[in-house]
Amino acid sequence: MRIIKVRVNAGCSPWCRSGRSGINEGVVCADIYNIQTSDESDDIYGQIQGVCQPVTSGKPIQCAGIRYWAGLYDATPEAPYTTQRFACGSFASESAPCPRIGRFENSVHIHYVGPAVCPLYDAWAAATRIAITLPGSSAVVGGINVASLHRTFGVACE
């Protein structure tokens, strides 16, 4: 069995969006990768990261709250493969705090089993309905969506 991990965009930029208020900003990034589990199947992952940081330094600080829906989408954004809500801090019903340092990182996943022949399938990861409560204030930034690059998987038609 071959295991291949492909990072479409390593790091955040430019598949990130931010919102700021005063000296702090909230940033959310999206990425997609796959692990090929056989000649006919892949595990596809959409990875979303949220972080708060000072506008001037970019060093992560604890957010008061982060909420987003992570999803994997195909050519029809209205019909995602999968979506899931993630939250910490002020948006978490179980009162789970956001990470003290580092990123609030989550992923969604599908197992794709395709034919040994064409077609190719197109997918991308996205964070939607984003809201971030910045530290040291009650300012909530968000209302934006962020998507990764598109990732094609499957077997090409000849």
CB-count exposure of residue 68 (10 Å: 0-12, 13-18, 19+): buried
Q: Are 101 and 136 in contact (CB under 8 A)?
A: no
Yes or no: domain 5-152 corresponds to CATH 2.60.120: no
Q: Are 146 and 30 in contact (CB under 8 A)?
A: yes
pLDDT at 65 over 60: yes
How do the domains of the chain map onto residue ranges?
5-152
Q: Are 154 and 118 in contact (CB under 8 A)?
A: yes
- The torsion of the CA quartet 64, 148, 45, 34, rounded to 10 degrees, works out to -150
Better-scored residue on pLDDT, 59 or 48? 48
Q: Are 68 and 86 in contact (CB under 8 A)?
A: yes
Lowest-confidence region among 33-47, 60-74, 125-139: 33-47
| DSSP strand pairing (104-113 vs 65-73) | unpaired
Q: Are 78 and 94 in contact (CB under 8 A)?
A: no
* pLDDT band at residue 115 using 50, 70 and 90 as cut-offs: low
Lowest-confidence region among 13-27, 54-68, 109-123: 109-123
How far is the C-alpha of 81 from the C-alpha of 71, rounded, in Å?
7
pLDDT digits (tens, 9 = 90+) for 6-28: 333 334 444 677 777 788 888 89
